[in-house]
Chains A and B, each alone.
Chain A
Amino acid sequence: RKEVEQDPGPFNVPEGATVAFNCTYSNSASQSFFWYRQDCRKEPKLLMSVYSSGNEDGRFTAQLNRASQYISLLIRDSKLSDSATYLCVVRRGNKLVFGAGTILRVKS
């Protein structure tokens, strides 16, 4: 079993849709949590950190459930420019552990 699991998708959604991704992690010692975004043939970039209390950044909302060991990302009012791979990332010790990513395609 991989340490960070994500549905690879792709999620194909129309512009303006709301889409949610989930991610589960297996190591309860994981300390902090992030969503990164990776465009095709580009480097990963931090989208947002994820806190137990939940946090929002514009159209993006992230949630963490430590008891169930899952992390979610909600994107409201999807834009064409949101098309990318979304990587769920957990920190364990001084290492980041990446999921394989969920592909989102937003279509007009």
Chain B
Amino acid sequence: DTAVSQTPKYLVTQMGNDKSIKCEQNLGHDTMYWYKQDSKKFLKIMFSYNNKELIINETVPNRFSPKSPDKAHLNLHINSLELGDSAVYFCASSQDYTEGETQYFGPGTRLLVL
């Protein structure tokens, strides 16, 4: 049973393309997140949704647009991909966003922009 799943696991694409990454959690959690882990291994929050409502929107280019059709899904669409977008993107979820809640991560999507 996969708690937090992401598709695709690998994504290789050309600059300028538009791509989407999908995330689903079957834990019944209310809160979901997107993180980016760059080549220096820093994991940074990009977005968070609680019950389909955006609660965190870090300083991310507006080429990145999250969409949460329901609380079990949080997708990430990226327009006009750039070389610097190459990274591992992790989805995560938690019961809610209050202090102390453990976040569970998906396996990651490795994006390479050529």
Whether the Cβ atoms of A98 and B43 lie closer than 8 Å is yes
Binds B, one of A15-23, A37-45, A59-67: A37-45
Name B48's contact: one of A31, A42, A49, A94 (CB within 8 Å). A94
B:97-114 near A, CB below 8 Å: 97-100, 102-103, 105-108
How many residue pairs link A and B with beta carbons under 8 A? The number is 39
The total of chain A residues at the interface (CB under 8 A) is: 19
* Contact (A95, B105) CB under 8 Å given A31-B99, A32-B99, A87-B43: no
| Chain B interface residues toward A at CB < 8 A | 40-45, 48, 55-56, 90, 97-100, 102-103, 105-108
List 6 other contacts, CB 8 Å, given A43-B105, A46-B103, A100-B41: A43-B90, A43-B107, A91-B99, A94-B56, A95-B48, A100-B40
